[in-house]
Structure 1
Amino acid sequence: MTDEPRATAELGLRVDHVDSPIGLRVDELVQPGLRRNPKRAHLLVSTVLGKHIPCDPARVIDAGVRLGDLCAAALADSPGPVAVFGFAETATGLGHCVATALDASGYLHSTRRSVPGFPVVGGFEEGHSHATDHALVPSDPAVDLPPGLPLVLVDDEISTGATALDAIRALQALAPRTRYVVASLVDMRSDEDRARMVAAAEELGVRIDSVALATGRVTTPDGLIDAVAALPPTPDPVPAGRRGSATRVDLPWPDGVPDGGRHGFRASDRPAFDRAVEKAAGALRAVVGDGPVVVVGHEELMYLPLRLADSLARIGVPAVFQTTSRSPAYVLDAPGYPLRRGWSFRPPEGGDGRRYLYNATVQGKNATVVLVLDPPADTDHLTAPDGVVDALTSSGIDVVIAVVPVDPAHLTAERRR
């Protein structure tokens, strides 16, 4: 019997620790997983992000605070305001946590959603991702991407640094500055990757520092992509004898308060946002009772569901946090593998492609799923056959559909007054 992770023991995918400035190990922060992707077959499944694995919300927030502290130390010679940028879809909540920890003047994350009335002012690509395009849609580029300020770029994982460099080039063209910090939970770059970032900084005439909770190395055996493609398909979830219930709650949310950083989140937004989270959590408590619950955000909508889960936990409701995903990971219900079960469903916004949710348990057991969405995802597709609610209730899971009535147009109008 081996203690190695399943993907290591059976396929030779290794994740090795190198160093950490705060005493954490890479294998405490990520577990090796697999995905059927012809560009990259391995997946580093974070234990502190709240994407694929349900997490204690306090642990997710703590990881963001620790990363923010490392950023502050890196910027100790540049006192004054700082701005923060997060990468969709996995790091939108983490980036917001870092922005809060740094008391940043503003926070913006990239998006893969087309928003009527919001022009795309820039973008870049993520070559190995299942969804490659990143768009920038701030409500006011001059304020949400302030030129001149040091900018912290936050991602959950830096594998080669190529995406971060593409983002820096795009951001530098929009709002030039001389200082960047690339921050991640884990940094898995090779020496050659690091040298490329140094060369790019010289080319652009900027300084780029890198910080991470831990550094490590990924070893992918030859033929891993073909080996993963040849694995037997994961059976669809077996329908339960009892279909779960579906309950809807429209959460209270004040007009003009952003639900995250898709169109920019400013320091001045924090007090109203914090009050709104507490009020919304109270409304949820009246519906979910004593729990336990898995608070599930919709793709890029990560920070608000995270904060809701944290508020519920602080008022005595056992709550964990995670989100849905665009990434088709490989699911295997076996000890030592991080993705034990999963659901595939049509996008609630409509259109092509599939969306996914993994694990969704509290201590390995079913719990009520609180699905937090904004109005663009609140459609007929949400509750139709082959939608996410249908997929979960078919497995016997009770679902609370919690809609945050945020109108980006109202946000823009409030800011222009």
Structure 2
Amino acid sequence: MKKYTERELLRIAKRFHNTKRTYLLVDPLQGKHIPVNPSDAMDMLHSLGELVKKSYGESRLVIGFAETATAVGMAVSEVIGDDCVYIHTTREDIPSEAYWIEFKEEHSHATDQKLAASNLKKWLSKTDTIVFVDDEISTGKTIINFINQLRIYYPEISEKKLVAASIINRVSKENNEKMLSLGIESIYILKMDETDLTEYVKKYSICEAQEYEDNADQTACDEFVCDTGLLDPRLGVNTGDYRNNCQLFARKLHSFIDLDKTMGKVLVLGTEECMYPAIILGKMLQEEFNADVYTHSTTRSPIGICQDADYPIKQGYKIKSYYDSERSTYIYNIDKYDLVIIVTDSKLVNPGETNSLIEVLKREGNNRIVLYRG
């Protein structure tokens, strides 16, 4: 199992207009804000899974945190075992789900989080260990808030082993002792000091991501809906079923577009919480066609743009969300590709939400764009 360094896993950016925490930890291997080789992303995510499996392989329930850790959580769950249940928190409205556990992510730009709970009691009864997965844990407040809410409705979790798994752990000794007192153990790839980076990011002079300009003449693209719909981990999935579902979804792209070894440089772009299917598709294109593939996804996070050499986010656009046309979302560090495949599980069909992303991709020289819905 590969060991990772701070240099490999961490870049520091400045949040745009967030006074609660002015800095943002950006992981260049995670496949979220920065384009990355999908195999490199999956290798890193699976490394966390291997650590968790070694110490907590008996777990049969893994809970990931939206938005950035949805793929991290799934990768951990699939290493533990196909019979694991995987579910991640969400900020989306899902009318079919009537029962939610709500909690706060205090430092975030969007503080409200929730977990679909209709089947939670059943899943809790089948595991003695619950693994909570985030990309980074700095103070432990979010996971403590969440577990405190869970205890109100499910007092039986006091009898469970609770595990906070993350790529980066910056929890201080004092906060770690607090977590342990609440029965929460920690496991991670990289341990760092809990340093307040507020002063560090003051040196960066940032601007807001550029607002897209609606240009109807520039927004055409091919759009396909796969007859194998993507399962929804927001509602909970069997890990083996979801992995197989995403792999079948990836393979069925063949029936819509010509894929060959001359496809050139390819971007597979996820949308917000829908990250794992994009990484799976990107990895398949690499392995089957030896293509030069990159993956990342759109995000709710407003990150400042800066041209300093050591700054990770040098370009970005503010666009309409694929899940709510009244909500803004962002895409960063767009490059020029021979083919862009947008992967989404959004059921919203509104020209505004597709047009804004396609317009900014075309503005950066991307002329062959495919929208692939699952």
Q: Specify the TM-score bucket, using the shorter chain as the normaliser.
A: 0.7 to 0.9
Q: Which of 289, 299, 314 in structure 1 is aligned with 2:287?
A: 314
Q: Does residue 1:392 correspond to 2:361, yes or no? A: yes
Contact 1:251 1:280 (8 Å CA) reproduced: no
Q: Does residue 1:45 correspond to 2:26, yes or no? A: yes
Q: Does residue 1:276 correspond to 2:276, yes or no? A: no
Correspondence for 1:211: 187
Correspondence for 1:334: 308
Correspondence for 1:184: 166
Correspondence for 1:233: 207
Q: Does residue 1:88 correspond to 2:39, yes or no? A: no
Q: Distance in 1 between matches of 2:30 and 2:59?
A: 26
Correspondence for 1:349: 323
Gaps of 5+ in 2: none
Q: CA deviation at 1:314?
A: 1.0
Contact 1:35 1:43 (8 Å CA) reproduced: yes
Q: Which amino acid aligns with 1:341?
A: Q
Contact 2:208 2:303 (8 Å CA) reproduced: no
Q: Distance in 2 between matches of 1:265 and 1:32?
A: 33
Give percent identity, aligned residues only. 27
State the Cα deviation string for residues 223-263 of structure 1 (Å, max 9, x = none): 568x47x9352574899xxx8674223142425x51x4111
Q: Distance in 1 between matches of 2:9 and 2:297?
A: 17
Q: Does residue 1:121 correspond to 2:95, yes or no? A: no
Gaps of 5+ in 1: 1-20, 202-207, 406-417
The 5-angstrom pairing of residues 78-157 of structure 1 reads 80-103=58-81, 104-137=83-116, 140-144=119-123, 146=125, 148-157=127-136
Q: Which amino acid aligns with 2:366?
A: I
State the Cα deviation string for residues 325-379 of structure 1 (Å, max 9, x = none): 1111011133221112111112233354421011133xxx545332112243432
Q: What's the TM-score, normalizing by structure 2? A: 0.87
Contact 1:51 1:90 (8 Å CA) reproduced: yes
Correspondence for 1:12: none
| 3-state SS in 2 of match to 1:382 | helix
Q: Distance in 2 between matches of 1:173 and 1:198?
A: 19
Q: What's the TM-score, normalizing by structure 1? A: 0.79
| 3-state SS in 2 of match to 1:217 | coil
Structure 1 pair 279–138 and aligned structure 2 pair: CA distance change class (3 A): farther
Contact 1:65 1:97 (8 Å CA) reproduced: yes
Q: CA deviation at 1:51?
A: 0.7
Contact 2:59 2:127 (8 Å CA) reproduced: no
Q: Distance in 2 between matches of 1:98 and 1:283?
A: 31
Q: CA deviation at 1:147?
A: 5.6
Q: Distance in 1 between matches of 2:212 and 2:243?
A: 45
Q: CA deviation at 1:46?
A: 0.2
| 3-state SS in 2 of match to 1:66 | helix
| 3-state SS in 2 of match to 1:315 | helix
* RMSD of Structure 2 on Structure 1 (CA): 2.8
Correspondence for 2:342: 371
State the Cα deviation string for residues 115-156 of structure 1 (Å, max 9, x = none): 112124212110001111111125633445556431111100
